[in-house]
Amino acid sequence: MAKRKVVLTYPPEQVDKPITYHLVKDFDLVINILRAEIREEETGRMVLEIEGDEEKIEQGLKFLRNRSIDVQEAARDILLDEEKCVDCGACTAVCLPKALHLNTGTWKLEFDKEKCIFCELCARSCPLKIIEVAF
Ligand code: SF4
Ligand code: SF4
């Protein structure tokens, strides 16, 4: 049995489709939804932990990609060196779930790990490279 953690990004036309049902029923996979941010008629994001036969997992991910769902491997953790942060806000612009935001009172960066979907975009956007992605 293999286990993978992936980030799915849905186009609006797929948001109301029962894709986790298909992963379970058609590919015999065990699905654990770690995060989900899906609104009707908008792009949706979901972090899934998928467990099952390696080949079936690959088939399931191919099934998703064939439905125009973007599938990326998810990071295990995001680590931010707050001491070195200059609160420039560059990382907040790419953080779609708003896990990173500037406090409008103090203009300091705040990180709400509960909202993070481990997409890694912040790590790539930080000019100081102080955001680390752990796999
Ligand atoms: S990895 Fe970074 S950009 Fe992505 S959701 Fe988490 S904090 Fe936001
Ligand atoms: S991009 Fe880097 S330096 Fe700028 S606010 Fe984010 S973590 Fe801090």
Span 26-72, pLDDT tens digits: 999 999 988 887 766 678 888 899 999 999 999 999 999 999 999 98
Domains and CATH numbers, the chain: 2-73 (3.30.70.260), 77-134 (3.30.70.20)
pLDDT at residue 40, as a whole number: 64
pTM tops 0.75, yes or no: no
**Ligand 2 atom at shortest distance from the alpha carbon of 100:** 6
- Give yes or no for residue 108 having a pLDDT over 90: yes
Task: Write the CB contacts of 58 (distance below 8 Å, at least 6 apart in sequence).
Answer: none
Whether the CB-CB separation of 47 and 7 falls below 8 Å is answered with: yes
Distance (Å) from CA 88 to ligand 2 centroid: 5
How confident is residue 76, by pLDDT bands cut at 50, 70 and 90?
A: confident
Strand order in the sheet with 2-10: 30-37, 44-52, 2-10, 70-73
Q: Give me ligand 1 centre to Cα 25, in Å.
A: 31
Atom of ligand 2 nearest to the CA of 87: 5
Helix/strand/coil for 96: coil
**Token pair of 23 as six digits:** 């992963």
Q: Which two tokens stand for residue 90?
A: 């560059």
Model pLDDT, residue 102: 97
